Copies of this chain bind each other. A is one copy, B any other.
Amino acid sequence: MSFPDDPKAPAAPAPDATRRPVSPPARERFRHWLGIATRWLDNDVYGHVNNVVYYAYFDTVVNRFLIEHGVLDPHGGDVIGLVVETGCRYHASLSFPDELDAGLRVVHLGRSSVRYEIGLFRRGASACAADGFFVHVYVDRVTRRPVPLPAGLREVLTGIADGGR
Q: A5-B146, A12-B85, A110-B9 are in contact. Are A56 and B39 (CB under 8 A)?
A: yes
A145 neighbours in B (Cβ, 8 Å): 5
Instruction: List residues 66-85 of chain A with CB under 8 A from any CB of chain B.
Output: 67-68, 74-75, 80, 82-85
Residue of B35, B89, B110 touching A6 (CB-CB under 8 A): B110
A16 neighbours in B (Cβ, 8 Å): 16, 19
Cross-chain contact B15 with A18 (CB below 8 angstroms):
no
Q: A6-B146, A16-B16, A111-B6 are in contact. Are A39 and B60 (CB under 8 A)?
A: yes
A68 neighbours in B (Cβ, 8 Å): 97
- Interface residue? A51 (CB, 8 A): yes
